[in-house]
Amino acid sequence: MFSGFEARCVRVEETSIFAKVGGTGPPVLLLHGFPETHAMWRDIAAALAPRFTVVAADLRGYGQSGCPASAADHAPYSKRAMANDMVQVMNRLGFERFMIAGHDRGGRVTYRLALDHPAHVSKIAVLDVIPTAAAWDRADARLALGFWPWSLLAQPEPLPERMMAAAPDAIVDNAISQWGSAADAFPAEVRAAYIEALRDPAHVHAICEEYRAAATIDREHDALGQAESRRIACPLLALWSSEGGLENWYAGEGGPLAIWRQWADKVEGRPVKGGHFFPEENPTETAVALSKFFTA
């Protein structure tokens, strides 16, 4: 995986961020989701590298990145804190302005970075997400049952930590088998890497804190921004699973594009064949869509 890429560990204000860096051309930052790491981008990074300088990073608390101490309000694991990390990472790699693609949790960091640091971002792509506050405002049994981490991992410690640490293989296997993607999209070594990343108690706690932040302070940041009429100014590409919840749940209000247009000025997008993990399941179509958007 990541042939020709360099492994980097970048020190930021509060922690260290691990990334794979390679390619040539305009800089593109790739951010992963749960229960993945930067490894989810293995095929897409290779496809983009001939035209872009690609940085595939582990979010704080995930993969090989650090796990700073949290706080009662979960702010150290807010998307705002994670976005701050990534601005520092890219700047220290020599990129003042860059593009971003983020899937799942990484998509939430992506749009927060665009809102908080507009001068640093030229384009963003958000994969299989709508804004956090918008998702919670529309939450029903479909979300609670379909994407159990939202409610389970946000519970007070130590219950979710103990459950995830006790059976990391069950956590990973449930996610990759129950969220609509084909099992063969995850080679054995990738599945093993995701499981291994959940064996460390510090990372398990950090991931739960990130979900607690999503249920609390992230929602507050979103709501405040909406109240102040803050909008994403750069072009936004929304891609989502053709077989997942976003394809159907919000059809009555115009689907994901209509929701994103309440937050951003320039929105385009479409579904991509596959389940929630379509970047791993269908990397070719995903890479083509990202490359076209980032070069337009």
Q: What amino acid positions are annotated as catalytic residues? A: 104, 276
Q: What angle do CA 106, 204, 191 make, to 5 degrees?
A: 70
CA distance 135 to 130: 6
From the CB of residue 92, how many other CB atoms can be counted at a distance below 10 Å?
13
CA distance 272 to 107: 16
The answer to whether 80 touches 116, Cβ cutoff 8 Å, is yes
Give me 148's structure tokens: 């159990």
Q: What angle do CA 196, 93, 239 make, to 5 degrees?
A: 65
The answer to whether 58 touches 129, Cβ cutoff 8 Å, is no
DSSP E strands, 32-120: 53-57, 98-103
210 Cβ partners below 8 Å, 6+ apart?
Answer: 59, 61, 77, 82, 105
**CA distance to 43, 180, 220, per residue, from 224 (Å):** 37, 34, 6
Q: What angle do CA 37, 43, 47 make, to 5 degrees?
A: 130
Nearest in space to 77 (alpha carbons), one of 88, 91, 65: 65
The answer to whether 65 touches 39, Cβ cutoff 8 Å, is no
